[in-house]
Amino acid sequence: MKQALKDLASWKVLEKHHQDMKSQSIKDLFSIDPDRGSKLNINAEGIYFDFAKHRIKGTTIELLLQLASERGFEAKRDAMFRGEKINTTENRSVLHTALRSPKNVEIFVDNHNIVPDIHEVLDKMAVFANKIRNGVWKGHTGHDIKNIVNIGIGGSDLGPVMAYEALKYFSQRNLTFRFVSNVDGSDFAEAVQDLNPDETLFIVASKTFTTLETMTNAQTARKWLLEKLGNESAVSKHFAALSTNEKEVAKFGIDTNNMFGFWDWVGGRYSMTSAIGLSTMIAIGPEKYHEMLSGFHAMDEHFRSAPLKQNIPVIMGLLTVWYNNFFDAQTQAVLPYENYLKRFPAYLQQLTMESNGKMVTLDGEKVTYETSPIYWGEPGTNGQHSFYQLIHQGTKIIPCDFIGFKKSLNQLPPHQDYLIANMIAQGEALAFGKTAEEVKMEGTDPNLVPHKVFDGNRPSSTFFLDQLNPSNLGKLVAMYEHSVFVQGVIWDVNPFDQMGVELGKVLAQKIIKDLLEPEISLQHDSSTNALIQFYKAI
């Protein structure tokens, strides 16, 4: 019988330890050990991870590591890498890490080595991507393809959008990339309004190839294309599919030669290194795409083999548990000081919250503790002029992840120095604040002193890298993927299913019927019925 989280010996010790720690400020901790800045950090895989500005001391890390060990973390991690069916509710392996493993490795699912299959798809993607990039692939009317429109949603959209934005600097600039996800027709209409169908390729990205939003957008795209190009045979020159469902792809009319497959052991939100990455590969080219995969792989290996104390995703994941479960932090901010990472927080919202936003354990028992915090964020300096107020002086504790790079991709002095000065200053201000004495010393009107005090003691991590490039993007994404895994192990939830998105989908199907049939008798609650009637009223 598995022990409940709160009954674990390490948990109980952590509870006591928290009582001690809650009365010590970050400032106190730095006074006790002025050198902690050079101790509480990990410098690995080109990432300098500073976690000194946290409400922890060495013992905290020791205890959190004991917790991980009591939870059987290492065995669970290794089971994931080996391809065991750790997604128990769906009876699936979880092998996004295999997608970036080198050719010479063997990884088995149901006695079949999947690595050659992965590389076959990668090679096929490379051929296709190069044809588009070099203008060898022609549209139905003989034009080069200049516009790539990815149609997908959730895991089939957020990774591609984020990666395109993040790596735009490396993208082929004569190609235009658009991403359509929402079933709101305006998303499609705006995406194509200035595009010429002769020069446009649609990539329909859908693991299942049955998702309402994606299929509706794909049908609209097909209509839009055929209105201009007239001939059904145009579809094979202007549509590609990324999917696990060959039957549905063929039914849609997409030539299965233009289909790039993946497998049920790749979860949607873990799929950006599967065929779902085709738009990324077209944008940055196969070589750079492989650099991105190498970055992912380097972080996978770090997670798999670095001692836990020196393991970035392990420490990150455990710190999240520390604030979430002991300090009752409800949210976690992700604040990139790199404009190209503007969609990174949105990407992480799905990765983290769809994974660990769960209320039952793997055995189906209701949890008696908090699971995933709410992740949110925006590029840093913009946030400083809006919501940072609450992080500095509000009543909530919001651990922050700052992400920055030493070198900018665009050399425009003095921008980079200003940007990084701001990032470092925010971590310092959050941790150390400003006392009433300090405010008074500035000659502040006594009535305003309380308004100008910063309590400090607000925790943050800083992730500092050399420069944003495909490899470093891969490392950052894998780092968060694995920290989510660590959290899932502690909370004993399944980070790899997403049953919580189902109910709304089923009800929407019912309501679609209610909206379309004029005489139908509505069977919902009175509020829902009224909303439907309001919509239908002429």
Q: Which residues are catalytic?
A: 354, 385, 505
425, 53 contact by CB (below 8 A):
no
Q: Among residues 93, 101, 150, 211, which is the contact residue for ligand G6Q, using CB under 6 A?
A: 211
CB of 153 to ligand G6Q, least distance (A): 5
Interface residue with ligand G6Q among 139, 159, 261, 268 (CB under 6 A) is 268
- State which residue has the least CB distance to ligand G6Q: 154
- Does residue number 273 form part of the binding site for ligand G6Q (CB under 6 A)? no
Take residue 405 and report the two structure tokens written for it: 């790079």
d(CA 85, CA 382): 42
State in angstroms the smallest separation of the CB of 21 from ligand G6Q. 35
Residue with Cβ nearer ligand G6Q (72 or 500): 500
Q: Which residues, including other chains, have CB under 8 Å from residue 439's CB and lie 6 or more apart?
A: 449, 452, 453
Q: Where does residue 456 fall: left (phi above 0), alpha (psi -120 to 50 degrees), or beta otherwise?
A: left
Angstrom distance (rounded) from CA 350 to CA 85: 22
Residue 267 sits in the site that holds ligand G6Q (CB under 6 A): yes
Q: Which is nearer to ligand G6Q, 214 or 483 (CB)?
A: 214
Between CA 152 and CA 330 the distance in angstroms is 30
Strand partners, 151: 180, 204
Q: Which of 137, 142, 102 is nearest to 118 (CA)?
A: 102
Please report how close the Cβ of residue 246 comes to ligand G6Q at its closest, in angstroms: 14
| Of residues 170-209, those binding ligand G6Q (CB under 6 A) | 206-208
Q: Select 152 or 295, whichever has its Cβ closest to ligand G6Q.
A: 152
Measured CA to CA in angstroms, residue 149 lies from 177, 417, 516 at distances of: 6, 36, 30
Determine the longest span between alpha carbons in the chain, in angstroms.
78
For residues 267 and 286, which CB has a smaller minimum distance to ligand G6Q in the complex?
267
| From candidates 139, 155, 404, 427, binder to ligand G6Q by CB under 6 A | 155
Residue 96 makes contact with ligand G6Q by CB under 6 A? no
Instruction: List the interface residues with ligand G6Q, window 358-417 (CB under 6 A).
Output: none
Residues 465-504 that bind ligand G6Q (CB under 6 A): 498
Given the rule CB under 6 A, which of 46-54, 133-141, 150-158, 376-384 is the region that contacts ligand G6Q? 150-158
Which of 198, 354, 378, 492 forms a contact with ligand G6Q (CB under 6 A)?
Answer: 354
Question: Measured from the CB atom, is 46 or 357 closer to ligand G6Q?
Answer: 357
Phi, psi of 48 (to 5 degrees): -95, 110
Q: What is the 3-state secondary structure (H, E, C) of 308-369?
A: HHHCHHHHHHHHHHHHHHHCCCCEEEEEEECHHHCCHHHHHHHHHHHHHCCCECCCCCECCC
Contact flag: residue 153 with ligand G6Q (CB under 6 A)? yes
Amino acid at 386: S
Cα separation, 344 vs 335, whole angstroms: 9
Q: Which is nearer to ligand G6Q, 266 or 400 (CB)?
A: 266
Q: Nearest distance from residue 345's CB to ligand G6Q, in Å? A: 16
Is the link from the previous residue into 459 a cis peptide, with omega within 30 of 0? Answer: no
Q: Which stretch binds ligand G6Q (CB under 6 A): 81-89, 93-101, 121-129, 148-156?
A: 148-156
The verdict on 284 binding ligand G6Q (CB under 6 A) reads no
- Of 207 and 358, nearer to ligand G6Q (C-beta) is 207
The beta-carbon contacts of 451-457 under 8 Å, at least 24 apart in sequence, are 454/392, 454/393, 454/429, 455/393, 456/25, 456/26, 456/27, 456/429, 456/430, 456/431, 456/432, 457/25, 457/26, 457/27, 457/55, 457/431, 457/433
Cβ neighbours for 250, distance < 8 A, ≥ 6 positions apart = 256
Q: Give yes or no for residue 154 binding ligand G6Q (CB under 6 A).
A: yes
Min CB(208)–ligand G6Q separation in Å:
3
Near ligand G6Q in 35-54, by CB under 6 A: none
Region binding ligand G6Q by CB under 6 A among candidate stretches 77-85, 125-133, 151-159, 371-379: 151-159
Of residues 492, 73, 36, the one with CA closest to residue 315? 73
Does residue 528 touch ligand G6Q according to CB under 6 A? no
Q: Give how many residues touch ligand G6Q by CB under 6 A.
A: 14
| Least Å from the CB of residue 507 to ligand G6Q | 16
Residue given tokens 């928290």 in the structure block: 18
Residue ranges in contact with ligand G6Q by CB under 6 A: 153-156, 206-208, 211, 214, 267-269, 354, 498
